[in-house]
Amino acid sequence: MAFWFSIEPTIYKMVRVTRAISAAKRNEEVVTHARPSTRQLLQPIDKFFLFLCFLSVGLKERDLANRFNVHQSTVSRIIATWTSFLTTLLGSQCIWLTPAEVQAHLPEAFKDFPDTQVILDCTELRCQTPSSLLLQSEMYSTYKSHCTMKALVGIAPHGAVTFVSSLYGGSVSDKEMFKQSGIAALLTENMAVMVDKGFLISDCCKCKVYCPPFLSKQKQMPAY
């Protein structure tokens, strides 16, 4: 509930997708400050919960429509609206930590790599295969043997997510994504990044690059 209470004051400025589209078609100015109508079947907190069910549990729109007793098109609009809203709201937040903040929470396991600022790796999300052959070639991932969207993710040594890039086609290399993501501008010469042995960025990174040996036989770090 803490997250809900933090965003609740801003939800009444949310522009609903249907209102924005209708206003655009009529060349009218979109009203962004209107509070939700009392005739709405679902209150904002219920819509937020619906969105979380879709996002975390993976429930289908038809299933959500039955569970919340609304039309499937309503579910689709709610998902689109909250996706856009949270992307704008959370995307504007700075999650990159200063070296001092990273050092203050540095785990004991990193005593041999004390200047590590961020641990970098890529993640891939499966997506539908586009009809365009050109897009297929750009999005096809040989690692996943499927069309994917790929992102560069960075975490601090203590586990906090400190960097998330835009999505790229699955065919892009790790090195190219590192160059295009903008993270290089956040790194300085007195910092170090830690990567997997297959993440070849040493020649395009101005700071130190740590590539520790495989650690599968060692105990997992504690959660605290």
Mean pLDDT, consecutive 10-residue segments, the chain of 224 residues?
Answer: 86 62 57 49 92 92 95 94 89 91 93 94 92 93 92 95 94 92 93 90 90 64 57
Neighbours of 181 (CB within 10 A): 20
* Per-residue pLDDT, 183: 94
* Per-residue pLDDT, 27: 65
- Does the model's pTM come out above 0.85? no
Estimate to the nearest angstrom the gap between the alpha carbon of 133 and the chain centroid: 27
User: How far, in Å, CA of 117 to CA of 190, rounded?
Assistant: 9
* Per-residue pLDDT, 212: 82
Neighbours of 34 (CB within 10 A): 13
**Residue of 171, 174, 165 whose CA lies nearest to 135:** 171
* Per-residue pLDDT, 18: 47
* Per-residue pLDDT, 38: 40
- Residue 64's Cβ-count burial label (10 Å; 0-12, 13-18, 19+) is buried
Whether the Cβ atoms of residue 140 and residue 171 lie closer than 8 Å to each other = yes
Alpha-helical segments (H) within the chain:
2-7, 17-25, 44-52, 61-68, 72-91, 99-104, 133-139, 174-181
